[in-house]
Amino acid sequence: MTAAPAALSAVASALPPGFHLVAFESVGSTMDEARRLAEEGAADGTAVWAGEQTAGRGRQGRGWTSPRGNLYVTLLLRPQGSALAAAQLGFAAGLALAEALQPLVPNVALTLKWPNDLLANGAKAAGMLLESRAQGDRVDWLLIGMGVNLAAAPAPGETPYRAASIAAEAGRAVTPEELLPRLLERFAHWRGLLDTQGFAPLRRAWVARAAGLGGPITARLPRATLSGLFWDLDQDGALVLQADDGQRQRITAADVFFG
């Protein structure tokens, strides 16, 4: 890791109960390492953290630039429930990231872009990738990979939308060591609420930070492109798009663009 041993020890000791850290100086992908650990029987709450990724990736296999100074972490979870409930943990992770980061950068507008991006002043500052293995409707393990542009963002042209670093937007540095314990504490909070109260409280909090709600969007699905208004987030976490003719459609997976 980029952190000194003492700093690593401090991060590990600051994690909330139920989490433990597996740290690498450099790794191909924290998702790949977490998957390997999941298949070997690693426990719920394993957090795989790397100072650098050499083969990071985003949604749909896209490459993810992974320079040092950013946060790269994958959570290994073993949720006791349905595939739908497991997928809703992605919303818990996005909300947790926004809440963990906001007090450190109060001058930056942090919003959530459906389904799994964090925006800083309207530009992408973090992305998430979910992967799971299920047997029937029972999820054996769930991985939530997060890449947060703390120090550096992809170069212009590497993404189809504007990307930003927290350092550039906030005018101050936030380190992975500073953010990670806060992130896991907020994730534990929202996971606990999801377990005890269902998706409703998480949905309300997520919608309060939703980017583009009520505005025009384009949703690119595998076999169609739909345009309309981002009408709502439904009770399961699907995006509700209202077309020009007033018809509303639930979208469970798509690339979404504003405007």
pLDDT tens, N- to C-terminus, the chain (259 residues): 556 566 678 898 899 999 999 999 999 999 999 999 999 999 999 999 999 999 866 554 555 567 899 999 999 999 988 888 899 999 999 999 999 999 999 999 999 999 999 999 999 999 999 999 988 778 999 999 999 999 999 866 566 678 999 999 999 999 999 999 999 999 999 999 999 999 999 999 999 999 999 999 999 998 999 999 999 999 999 999 999 999 999 999 999 999 8
Amino acid identity of residue 96, one-letter, is A
Dump the DSSP string for 21-73.
EEEESSBS-HHHHHHHHHHTTPPTTEEEEES-BSS-B-GGG-B----TTSEEE
Which tokens go with 82?
């349905």
Kind of pairing, strands 46-50 and 20-24? parallel
Amino acid identity of residue 92, one-letter, is A
Question: Is the distance from CB of 51 to CB of 26 less than 8 angstroms?
Answer: yes
Q: Is 176 helix (H, G, I), strand (E, B) or coil?
A: helix
Which tokens go with 126?
């973090």
**3-class DSSP string for 112-161:** EECCCEEEECCEEEEEEEEEEEEECCEEEEEEEEEEECCCCCCCCCCCCC
Which DSSP letter does residue 233 get? Answer: E
What does the alpha-carbon distance between residue 131 and residue 121 come to, in Å, rounded to a whole number? 28
| Architecture label for domain 216-258 | Roll (2.30)
Q: Is 201 helix (H, G, I), strand (E, B) or coil?
A: helix
Domain 5-208 class in CATH: alpha beta
Which tokens go with 2?
């980029």
What's the pLDDT score for residue 3? 60
Domain residues of the chain, as ranges?
A: 5-208, 216-258
**H/E element, 101:** helix 89-101
**Chain mean position to CA 248:** 26
Amino acid identity of residue 179, one-letter, is L
Which tokens go with 158?
């590497």
User: Which residue, among 151, 155, 132, 150, has the nearest Cα to 142 in the 3D structure?
Assistant: 132
Give buried/exposed letters for 45-54 (b at 16+ CB in 10 A, else e): bbbbbbbbbe
Which tokens go with 203?
């949905």
Which tokens go with 255?
């690339």
What's the pLDDT score for residue 257? 94
What does the alpha-carbon distance between residue 9 and residue 16 come to, in Å, rounded to a whole number? 14
* Torsion sign, CA atoms 157, 163, 168, 173: negative
What's the pLDDT score for residue 81? 83
What does the alpha-carbon distance between residue 21 and residue 11 come to, in Å, rounded to a whole number? 9
